[in-house]
Amino acid sequence: MRLSSTLLGAAAAATVLAERNGHTFPRVGARQTTTNTSEHLQWWGINLSGAEFGNQNFSGVYGREYIWYDFNAIDTFLAQGMNHFRINFLMERLTPNELTAPLDPYYAGNLSEQTVSYITQKGAYVQIQPHNYGRFYNEIITDVAGFETWWKNVATPYVDNDLVIFDTNNEYHDMDQQLVFDLNQAAINGIRAAGALTQYITPEGNSWTGAWTWVSSGNGASLINLKDPADMLIYQMHQYLDTDGSGTHEECVSATIFRERLVAATNWLKQNNQKGIIGEFAGGANEQCIKAIQDGLTYLRENRDVWTGALWWAAGPWWGDYMYSMEPPSGPAYTGVLPQIKDYV
């Protein structure tokens, strides 16, 4: 998401079955053409955000610059039918100082031994996602080999957990398209070299990985050439519904804007026999946005042969009254949006 968490400061099982609302969903390979016969998307979930906060102080102080996630809130989301959690964190805190550094035992422990273990032991999926925009210490990552090593090291603890999904990096933007391709391919290579051969990987694109610009930005033409020996890529796109698609406004352009902004990417997925996921979406807790969100989720469900799921942005203990917060019990989206959309996915 383009709205930096810095603005909040400190105040802020190879077959696995996942169940949601009594429906059972088999794991489906990224290029498998079998259509999900359930009326639901395979995945419905949320971003957990907070461990990437304070991103101007990369070492940071736990509880002051950043926060990990509330298990009670996670249980609430599971009870609401969610089965997919996208976990936001910072590369710089996981491998301080350099891409090839060893994993920080405390930060990695909170990520893997606590959050990932807690969620996957309950049968839900966890998407591990460095919220770094293709940067490391605010500089565009150009060390492709180092990035491959980073991902090999990060993936190693999860090689036996098929409920883990790897997201290469959050929202590459304003970068050379070939570099975005190279970093995505390096991530895939590193993850598979670690021995993680049965987990999904979600490459993200340039231009904030927007669904509405996936084709026009050149992401489609470029990233279709990514190679995965496990053949388990799911292309991750994000889509907000405000005027500029930035996710910084409560207002939505129209009651059909979500659907409209998904059409070109949907056609690309179908034409190329690929699968996608909306890794971030949101709109304000108002009538027009709720209609737009419902309509867009209906469209995703109608095209579930290529769309695997949708993940709301966002929840986390420090979001407070942030307009898209779905943190229980009182986040504006938890009280104003979730009751209106949970049956649409």
| Catalytic center residues | 171, 280
Distances (CA, A) of 7 to 98, 140, 194, 250: 26, 21, 36, 16
Q: Give the tokens for residue 202.
A: 């979600």
User: If residue 267 lies in a helix (H) or strand (E), which one and from where to where?
Assistant: helix 263-271
Cβ neighbours for 257, distance < 8 A, ≥ 6 positions apart: 241, 292, 296
State whether residue 23 is helix, strand or coil. strand
- Is there a contact between 280 and 311 (Cβ–Cβ < 8 Å)? yes
- Is there a contact between 166 and 196 (Cβ–Cβ < 8 Å)? yes
What residue type is 283 in one-letter code? G
Alpha helix stretches (DSSP H) within 39-143: 71-79, 91-94, 105-108, 117-120
Q: For residues 291 and 287, give the distance between their C-alpha atoms in angstroms, rounded to a whole number.
A: 6
Q: Which of 132, 172, 174 minimizes the C-alpha distance to 154?
A: 132
Residue 179 sits at φ, ψ, to 5 deg, of: -65, -40
Q: For residues 46 and 69, give the distance between their C-alpha atoms in angstroms, rounded to a whole number.
A: 12
